[in-house]
Chain A
Amino acid sequence: DTEVTQTPKHLVMGMTNKKSLKCEQHMGHRAMYWYKQKAKKPPELMFVYSYEKLSINESVPSRFSPECPNSSLLNLHLHALQPEDSALYLCASSPLGSGYNEQFFGPGTRLTVL
């Protein structure tokens, strides 16, 4: 299994809702990432988990809360989002806990905040 899966593919939520994005990989990778991508822009790093511990938080607002329950799973919990948070949220993984290898990306969750 050489892919990263993300669910759901699409999510529409109100500003008072709580929702979660899920990411899964079964390649034995020890680093997992969340990126945010706005339309016609490059992906921007949000969080990095290395060996199931949060190693990088790019000053992301607390309404985004990451969780890594085990080495295969990565969640992003969403609460009280703003319309400007609407974007494509990409999950990625890489073999080692560093940026020295290629990253494998999931197809993304397209989030719309009303």
Chain B
Amino acid sequence: SQQGEEDPQALSIQEGENATMNCSYKTSINNLQWYRQNSGRGLVHLILIRSNEREKHSGRLRVTLDTSKKSSSLLITASRAADTASYFCATVGATNKLIFGTGTLLAVQP
């Protein structure tokens, strides 16, 4: 059962540019998380934002959450080639299950 839709599906940028990914979801949430997955490997947790928070920062990452619009965005500033990966938003609601969005494939060209 897929909760989130991510936009864009794929994004290609140059090193040093900023990358923005958007996530929309359907039902109320307790928190929203962002994960990164390098090609065919395990996922790495990036950041968790709770439903009563609007913005959170971690290093070069900035996440916003708008519960009225049921949407979130992930901004990666000053991107590097090593940021090339798939990025997934994932929501946790009343079922306590982590439900992933469709993902954005980010390619950072050196």
Asked if B60 lies at the interface with its beta carbon under 8 angstroms from chain A, I say no
A108 touching B41, Cβ below 8 Å: yes
Asked if B14 lies at the interface with its beta carbon under 8 angstroms from chain A, I say no
Asked if B59 lies at the interface with its beta carbon under 8 angstroms from chain A, I say no
Asked if B25 lies at the interface with its beta carbon under 8 angstroms from chain A, I say no
Q: Which of B43, B45, B48 contacts A90 (CB 8 A)?
A: B43
Asked if B33 lies at the interface with its beta carbon under 8 angstroms from chain A, I say yes
Interface string of A94-107 (1 = CB under 8 A from B): 00001111111111
Chain B positions 1-54 with a Cβ under 8 Å from a chain A Cβ: 2, 30-31, 33, 35, 40-45, 48
Classify chain B: how many residues form its interface, as a range: 20 to 34
Asked if A45 lies at the interface with its beta carbon under 8 angstroms from chain B, I say yes
B101 touching A102, Cβ below 8 Å: no
Asked if A74 lies at the interface with its beta carbon under 8 angstroms from chain B, I say no
Chain B: residues with CB nearer than 8 A to chain A? Answer: 2, 30-31, 33, 35, 40-45, 48, 88, 92, 95-103
